[in-house]
C-alpha cells in the first residue's frame, strides 16, 4: 500500500467523527423541543443556548472533515 | 452517459476547492499579489452590498414604504438581539455584527444565483453562463473574518474593562485558569474559521457529487437544504458566536 492509499483510508476514518455530531445534535434538538413545550415563553433563551450547543457539537464533525480534506489534498 | 465528460467529478472538486488558482496578478512596489477568483467574488459582493445600502437608505419617510419597512424590521430584530445579548453596549457593536451577518448571508446565498446549465447529459455540453462559487469555501476568507472578530473581542475587552480589569479577567475565576484563558484567543478564532469553512465546503462538495450522480430534478431539492438552509444557519451561527464572545469579553 503506497502512501496515498493509506492517506485515503485515513481520510475515511477521520470522517467517522461525523458520528458524534449525528448523535449529539438530535439529542440537543429533542431536549430543546421538550424545553420549549414546557416553557414556551422562554423559547428565545432556549433557542440561543441550543444554537450555541449545536455549533459546538458540530465542530467535531467539521474538524474530522478538515482532517480528511488535508489528508486527501496535501501532497 | 456516453457523452464526453469534460471533467471528472474529482477534477471538479479539486478545482472547486480552488484556493490557488489566481485569475491575475497585481504588480505593486516590486511585490506581486495573486488575485484569486474568491477575492473577485468578494469584491463583487461588497460592491453590491454597498450600492444596496446607499439605495435603500436614501429618502427615509416618516410613514415607511415597503423597502423601508422591511429594512426597519430587520435592523430592529438585530438591535433587539444585540441588546439582549450584550446589554447596554449593544448599540456599539451592532454595526460590526450586522455587517458580518449581512456579508455572510450574501456570501452564502450568492451561489444560488448561478444559472442552470444543461450539463453533458443531453448529448450537448451546455455550461452555465457563469458560475458563482461560495466565497466562504475558501479558508482564507473565513480566517480573515475570524481574525477580525477575535481582534474586536480583545480590544473591546481592553477598552470596556480597562487594562486592570482586563488582566483581572484573565485570571478569573482562579489563577489556575490563566493558560486556558490565553489559549481561548487561539481556539475561538480557529473554531469559528473552521466551522464556517468546513460547513460550506462540505455542502459544496456534496452538491457537486449529487449533480454528478443525478443531474436533473434532485439537485434543486437538495440545494434547498445544502445551499439555502445550511448557508443561512452558518451565517446565523457565526454572527451569534461572535456576539457571545464579545458579550462575555466585556461583561
Residue B121 has pLDDT above 60, yes or no: no
pLDDT tens digits for range B170-199: 887 888 888 888 898 999 999 899 889 888
- pTM, entire model: 0.83
CATH number for the domain that contains residue A62: 1.20.20.10
**Contact call for residues A61 and A21 (beta carbons, < 8 A):** yes
In a domain, residue B53? The reply is: yes
In a domain, B84, yes or no: yes
pLDDT value at B208 more than 70: yes
> What crossing angle do the helices spanning B90-109 and B37-56 adopt, rounded to 10°?
120
Which residues in chain A have Cβ-Cβ distances shorter than 8 Å to B241? 52, 55
The average pLDDT across B92-121 equals 80
| B-chain residue closest to A15, CA distance | B202
Residue B114, Cβ density class (10 Å: 0-12 exposed, 13-18 middle, ≥19 buried)? middle
pLDDT tens across B66-91, in order? Answer: 888 888 898 898 888 888 888 888 88
Look at residue B9 and tell me whether its pLDDT is greater than 70: no
pLDDT above 70: percentage of residues in chain B = 84
- Of B99-103, B136-140, B145-149, B211-215, the range with the lowest mean pLDDT is B211-215
Q: Contact A53/A28 with Cβ under 8 angstroms?
A: yes
Residues 6+ away with beta carbon under 8 Å from B240: A48, A51, A52, A55
Share of chain B above pLDDT 90, in %: 17
Q: What is the largest CA-CA distance in chain A?
A: 59
pLDDT at A74: 72
Question: pLDDT-based confidence at B125, cuts 50/70/90?
Answer: low
Give the pLDDT score at A30: 94
Q: Write down the ipTM of this complex.
A: 0.75
Q: Enumerate residues 6+ apart whose C-beta is below 8 A from B239.
A: B97, B100, B101, B104
Closest residue in A to B198 (Cα) is A62
If pLDDT is split at 50, 70 and 90, which confidence band does B12 have?
low
Strand-pairing partners, residue B119, are: B126
* Enclosing domain of residue A31: 3-73
pLDDT at B229: 87
The arithmetic mean of pLDDT across residues B94-101, rounded, is 91
Walking along chain A (75 residues) 10 residues at a time, the average pLDDT comes out as: 86 90 92 94 86 84 86 76
Instruction: Say how many domains are in chain A.
Output: 1
Asked if the C-beta of B121 comes within 8 angstroms of chain A's C-beta atoms, the answer is no
pLDDT surpasses 50 at B99: yes
Q: Which residue has the higher pLDDT, B1 or B83?
A: B83
Does residue B2 fall inside a structural domain?
A: no
pLDDT at B41: 86
pLDDT at B152: 92
Structural domain boundaries, residue B225: 9-250
Distance CA B97, CA B83 (A): 12
Take residue B53 and report the three cell numbers written for it: 445600502
Cα distance between residue B140 and residue B138, in whole Å: 5
Asked if B240 and A44 come within 8 Å (Cβ–Cβ), the reply is no
Residue B218's pLDDT is 79
Work out the widest C-alpha separation in chain B, in whole angstroms: 72
pLDDT at B2: 43
- Chains A, B: CB contacts under 8 A, how many? 36
Q: Which among A44, A65, A73 is the nearest to B198, CB-wise? A: A65
Closest Cβ–Cβ partner in A51, A52, A62 for B195 = A62
Question: Can you name the residues that pair with B34 across neighbouring β-strands?
Answer: B25
Q: What is the mean pLDDT of residues B6-33?
A: 67
Whether the per-residue pLDDT at B47 is higher than 90: the answer is: yes
Domain total of chain B: 1
Nearest to A64 by CA among A24, A32, A21, A25: A21
Best A65, A71, A73, A74 member to test B by mutation, with max B CBs in 10 Å, is A65
Instruction: Note whether B240 contacts A: Cβ–Cβ < 8 A.
Output: yes
Amino acid at each position: 500500500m503506497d502512501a496515498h492509499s493509506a492517506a485515503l483510508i485515513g481520510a475515511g476514518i477521520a470522517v467517522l467523527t461525523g458520528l458524534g455530531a449525528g448523535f449529539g445534535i438530535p439529542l440537543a434538538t429533542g431536549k430543546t423541543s421538550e424545553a420549549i413545550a414546557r416553557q414556551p415563553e422562554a423559547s428565545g433563551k432556549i433557542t440561543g443556548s441550543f444554537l450555541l450547543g449545536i455549533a459546538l457539537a458540530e465542530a467535531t464533525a467539521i474538524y474530522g472533515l478538515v482532517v480528511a480534506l488535508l489528508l486527501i489534498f496535501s501532497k | 452517459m456516453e457523452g464526453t465528460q469534460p471533467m471528472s467529478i474529482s477534477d471538479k472538486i479539486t478545482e472547486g476547492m480552488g484556493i490557488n488558482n489566481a485569475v491575475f496578478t497585481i504588480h505593486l512596489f516590486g511585490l506581486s499579489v495573486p488575485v484569486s477568483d474568491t477575492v473577485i467574488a468578494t469584491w463583487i459582493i461588497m460592491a453590491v452590498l454597498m450600492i444596496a445600502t446607499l439605495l435603500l437608505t436614501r429618502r427615509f419617510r416618516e410613514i415607511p414604504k415597503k423597502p423601508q419597512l422591511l429594512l426597519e424590521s430587520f435592523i430592529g430584530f438585530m438591535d433587539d438581539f444585540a441588546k439582549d445579548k450584550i446589554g447596554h453596549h449593544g448599540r456599539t457593536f451592532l454595526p460590526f455584527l450586522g455587517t458580518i451577518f449581512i456579508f455572510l448571508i450574501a456570501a452564502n446565498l450568492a451561489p444560488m444565483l448561478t444559472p442552470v446549465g444543461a450539463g453533458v447529459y443531453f448529448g450537448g455540453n451546455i455550461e452555465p453562463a457563469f458560475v458563482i462559487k461560495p466565497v466562504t469555501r475558501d479558508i482564507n476568507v473565513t480566517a480573515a473574518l475570524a481574525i477580525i472578530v477575535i481582534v474586536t473581542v480583545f480590544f473591546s475587552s481592553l477598552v470596556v474593562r480597562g487594562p486592570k480589569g482586563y488582566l483581572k479577567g484573565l485570571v478569573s475565576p482562579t489563577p489556575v485558569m490563566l493558560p486556558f484563558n490565553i489559549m481561548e484567543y487561539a481556539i475561538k478564532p480557529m473554531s469559528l474559521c473552521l466551522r464556517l469553512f468546513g460547513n460550506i465546503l462540505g455542502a459544496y462538495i456534496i452538491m457537486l457529487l449529487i449533480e454528478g450522480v443525478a443531474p436533473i430534478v434532485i439537485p434543486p431539492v437538495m440545494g434547498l437544504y445544502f445551499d439555502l438552509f445550511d448557508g443561512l444557519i452558518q451565517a446565523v451561527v457565526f454572527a451569534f458566536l461572535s456576539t457571545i464572545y464579545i458579550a462575555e469579553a466585556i461583561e
